[in-house]
A and B are shown apart, each in its own frame.
Chain A
């Protein structure tokens, strides 16, 4: 579903990504670990075509991202560290706007409500302007947007950092639901525990390279931490 082939990105002399090969299939939750500057966000930006690759190919659903940037975005949902919404619009209005931008104009008001219900947003908050929302509430609306978009692949850039453990746990439960519905999920994160809990595959990045891949059912929490720290030294 998500595929990077010899993907490179350099900014002048700095090589942000040095030939990444990566594949995330439907039903995968692939967690990218690595220090800040390892190339996680660059990878996500390349899949979104927010930056042009220096060489190599990124594919979404088999379609080249640079050739058909608008088509590939139809298959994607993006949830950043901070889901940014329009403060003067309500959650329903934000959701409706993004759903329509994503090409889904057919939802009813009840549909929008049920998306927000599914992500666990309090019913009375749906008609409030999101200016007043906490980070956790905004992340939930972000997931609702992904649900409404019926995305085949999700790109998550540290979506749980800064969330309290309960909110983080709820968020992970939502991801599992999405995966069970058949989505391919690529998540950049610093949360080793969450990566082992939620993900089924882990990739460790360092200085623009994917240095190791793991399957979470073959390693323990302690293994993940040990392997990660080994690479960081």
Chain B
């Protein structure tokens, strides 16, 4: 029975003039968005690979110099993106792509793609995810708002119900027919997207690509299902097709435009994150007065005493390592405690904002889908954070390796106080620092961060189905 109804619904939708132009527009936009995304991703990755390669060479070929000075010369981390970034570039336009890693300083990521583009293209950059998140619901609404309200207005609903079919079958059939009409528009585009990925020779960043694609498909299908059943529910509850359309388009604007912005503003107001200026000022001041109130010079004095007692020497020049290097490493570690606390506070504020936004998703299904989509594509703030963390680990290892090498290789310079108090190292020494490699979070980590969003999406789907079931049961067959 459901299949019979679905077939007729499908035939009717497809023959309607609305279908041809909305479908054509949708296909055109989706394909354009995917092509644009593919082009953008390709050129981004080419730039990233070239830049990372150049900086790796630069580090080795920086010229013979003191290892600690080499750590000052520093190194760059350029963030690579997974292949799914072409479909959903998430926040990557607005977050830094590059971290300068140097001795004594933890830096923020800089150089966001948005900073390089003209004012106009900052808005409405096309990507496949945006089309599916924003325009697919509109397609579903346009094709489905008359489902019940239209049949009630034209009177066919009485004829249909006089045939002796249950209201639940009617809902099932309409849902299936509408789903088929939406899927024949969307699925070919999704397949083309998958073919893009399969044909790529770009490096795969992040594991579980096939699982990610499968999960993305499930999440987007659930999202489409939410709008499909909401459309049918509203159509069943509404007095007229016009009223149904108004309610649905209102909800669409609310969830797709108003709530994402509002949720961001609310979460920022509730869990404020500091501005760059005040953050840097607070961190510098903290660094100067010392992590727990003991200034760095006093800490270093204490440390010197500890070392001299430990190695039973009366002068630092008698220590079994190059004191200057160990002292610098100690200072580095003292500073790191301050960096970690301040950067950690910002990270915690972002995480709190994110959790709050996940909860606001109970009001607007676009929010959880957006988070899941960015998360699986590897383009959300969590992964940006992981990149910054990786860069910081790299920086700490780089500084500690250079200081460590110096502390062992320059023991003979202990206490020597002249212009020749300098150990010069070459490429072979710099090579003990392996090139920077970004390790994206494991898929399991991403999923555990997003369980709430999956739950909220499932809740919405369940609620939409329930509303539709209730709606058809209570639906009047009479025109008003």
Residues of A within 8 A of B (CB): 48, 50, 69-74, 76-78, 80, 82-86, 88-89, 93, 97-98, 100-103, 105, 145, 149, 155
Contacts and interface: CB of A to CB of B under 8 A. Distances in A.
B4 A50 contact: no
B164 A74 contact: yes
Specify the main secondary structure of chain A where it touches its partner: mixed
A48 B11 CA distance: 28
Interface residues of B, number: 21
Contacts of B11: 88-89, 93
A168 B194 CA distance: 61
A171 to B, nearest CB: 17
A78 B158 contact: yes
A102 B1 CA distance: 9
A71 B165 CA distance: 9
A82 B155 contact: yes
Contacts, number: 69
Nearest to A71: B164
A149 B12 CA distance: 22
Given A73-B164, A77-B162, A101 B156 contact: no
A82 B159 CA distance: 10
A4 B441 CA distance: 71
A178 B1 CA distance: 27
B8, B11, B16, B165: which has the most chain A beta carbons within 10 Å? B8
B10 to A, nearest CB: 11
Nearest to A49: B161
Given A70-B165, A80-B155, A101-B160, A88 B16 contact: yes
Nearest to A145: B159
Given A86-B8, A89-B12, A102 B154 contact: no
Nearest to B169: A101
Given A88-B12, A89-B8, A89-B12, A149 B156 contact: no
B156 to A, nearest CB: 4
A115 B165 CA distance: 22
A103 B1 CA distance: 8
A93 B4 CA distance: 11
Contact of B12 (A86, A101, A105): A86
B8 A97 contact: yes
22 contacts: A48-B158, A50-B477, A73-B161, A73-B163, A73-B164, A74-B164, A78-B162, A80-B155, A82-B155, A84-B158, A85-B159, A86-B156, A89-B12, A93-B8, A93-B11, A98-B163, A101-B4, A101-B5, A102-B163, A105-B4, A145-B159, A149-B163
